[in-house]
Amino acid sequence: MKITVSGEVKEVKDELTIAELIELENVETPQYVSVSVNDEFAKSEDFKTQKLHEGDIVEFLYFMGGGQ
């Protein structure tokens, strides 16, 4: 199936979970990433069970602490 991850369309296996996508995308500090699916926040406790669907739009939101 095709999903959009951070603005890029990607072909992934059907029924991919958010946790699997996080691994696939090599997300840095995966335990602290916020994830939105179709403009809704996914709960971190659901990452292992929440399956993605064809056409889903997924965004990763990262902590970025620097500034000085």
Partner 1 sequence: MAFSDEQLERYSRHIILKEIGVRGQKKLLNAKVLIIGAGGLGAPAAMYLAAAGVGTIGIADADEVDLSNLQRQIIHATDDVGKPKVESAKETMNKMNPDVTVKTYHEFVSSENILDLIKDYDFIIDGTDNFPAKFLINDACVMAKKPFSHAGIIRFKGQLMTYVPGEGPCYRCVFKNPPPKDAVPTCKQAGVIGAMGGVIGSLQAMEAIKYITGVGELLTGSLLTFDAIKMNFHKVKLPKADCNCAVCGTHPTITKLIDYEQAECDGI
Residues engaged in binding partner 1 (CB under 8 A): 6-7, 29, 31-32, 34, 36, 39-41, 59, 61-68
Query: 32 or 53: whose CB is closer to partner 1?
Result: 32
Residue 24 or 61 having the CB closest to partner 1: 61
CA atoms of 27 and 19, how far apart (whole Å): 10
The upper half-sphere exposure of residue 66, i.e. CA atoms within 13 Å in the direction of its Cβ, equals 0
Helix (H, G, I), strand (E, B) or coil at 21: helix
Q: Give me the least distance between CB of 62 and partner 1, in Å please.
A: 8
